[in-house]
Amino acid sequence: MSTSDFIFNGRAARVVFGAGSRVHIERELLALRAQKALILFGQEQLALGTAVADQLGSHAAGVFDRATMHVPAELVTEARAVATSLGADCLIAVGGGSAVGLAKAIALESGLPIIALPTTYAGSEMTPIFGVTEAGLKRTGTDLRVLPKTVIYDPELTVTLPVALSVTSGINAIAHAAEGLYSRDANPLTSLMAEEGISALSRSLPRIVSRPDDLSARSDALYGAWLCGAVLGSVGMALHHKLCHTLGGSFNLPHAPTHTIVLPHALAYNAEAAPDAMKRIARAVGHDNAAQGLYELSRANGAPIALKEIGMLESQLDRAADIACNNAYWNPRPLEREAIRTLLQRAFEGSAPQT
Ligand code: NAD
* Domain coordinates in residue numbering, the chain: 14-158, 163-349
- pLDDT above 60 (res 1): no
Q: Rounded to two decimals, what is the model's pTM?
A: 0.96
Is ligand 1 within 6 A of the CB of residue 123?
Answer: yes
Residue 150 three-state SS: strand
The CATH code belonging to domain 163-349 is 1.20.1090.10
DSSP state of 353: P
Pick the atom of ligand 1 nearest to 128's CA.
40
- Assess whether the C-beta atom of 102 lies below 6 angstroms from ligand 1: no
Q: Please, which pLDDT band fits residue 13 given cuts at 50, 70 and 90?
A: confident
User: Ligand 1 centre from 124 Cα, in Å?
Assistant: 9
The answer to whether the CB of 257 is under 6 A from ligand 1 is no
Instruction: Look at ligand 1, atom 37, and give the residue with the nearest C-alpha.
Output: 124
Task: Give, using CA atoms, the residue closest to atom 19 of ligand 1.
Answer: 161
For ligand 1, atom 6, the nearest C-alpha belongs to: 96
Confidence check: pLDDT of 32 > 60? yes
- 14-158 classified as CATH 3.40.190.10: no
Burial class (CB in 10 A: 0-12, 13-18, 19+), 277: buried
Q: What is the mean pLDDT of residues 76-81?
A: 98
Band the pLDDT of 15: cuts 50, 70, 90.
very high
- pLDDT tens digit string along 178-230? 999 999 999 999 999 999 999 999 999 999 999 999 999 999 999 999 999 99
CA of 96 to the centre of ligand 1 (A): 4
Tell me what the mean pLDDT of segment 293-316 comes to: 98
The pLDDT of residue 2: 64
**Contacts of residue 137, Cβ cutoff 8 Å, sequence gap at least 6:** none
pLDDT at residue 36, rounded to an integer: 98
Residue from 166, 322, 303, 147 nearest 242 by CA: 322
Comparing 21-35, 97-111, 245-259, 289-303, the range with the smallest average pLDDT is 245-259
- Helical ranges in 46-187 per DSSP H: 46-56, 73-86, 97-110, 163-181
